[in-house]
Structures are given as structure tokens and as C-alpha cells.
Amino acid sequence: MADASGDDPSDAPGGSGSREVTVPLRLYKTVTVFSTLFAVVFVLAGFVLLDSATNRATAEASEIDPLLAIVGIGLLVGGAAVYAFSTRFRTEEMGKSKDESDENSDNG
């Protein structure tokens, strides 16, 4: 639960709860490209397997292949997780707008 001041200690730069990983620009580009590629492939493969397991969503409940359906759903979740974790990376040059000192803090 956040405290009354609205400050979240996990958002503090360099804090122990910081969710971002600062990496060099070359590594950032590599992580972004490959994580997006893997996420897209996982999600598409998950939909194909799920579609195959349910016979294009026309199979009766007794005809569904549960193993194939579980693997398909697992790939969907895995693709989402890969993409979500890849968004933690940033470079030194990438600052957050809330870190800018010349902005007003009146939220409007």
C-alpha cells in the first residue's frame, strides 16, 4: 500500500526496489528487438496451438486436447511475460519525464 504522500519507494532511482535496469544502448536495442520477436512468436504459436486443440473453437468439450490447449495458453502467458520484463530495460539517456527538475509538480 502506498503511503499518504504518494511516493512509492520502488520507483526511487537506484533504490533497492527499483524496477528498471540501466544498460548500454547497444544491449538495449538487442534486448528490445529479440524480446519483441520472441514475444510475437510465442503469442502466435500459442494461438495456433489453442486453435488446433479446440478444432477452430468448434470442438465439443470432450473432444478438446487438454495438453495442447495448456501448452498454447502457456505460450500466450510466456509471450506476455517476455514482453513485460523487456520493458524494464532502459539506457542512461532515457530519462523519465517525472525526473525532470524544470517541470511543475502540481499535476496539471
pLDDT, one tens digit per residue, over 8-42 is: 444 445 444 578 889 999 999 999 999 999 999 99
69, 82, 80, 94: which is closest to 34 by C-alpha? 82
Number of residues written out for the chain:
108
Look up the pTM and report it: 0.69
pLDDT score recorded for residue 106? 62
Region for residue 104 given its phi and psi (left: phi exceeds 0; alpha: psi -120 to 50; beta: otherwise): beta
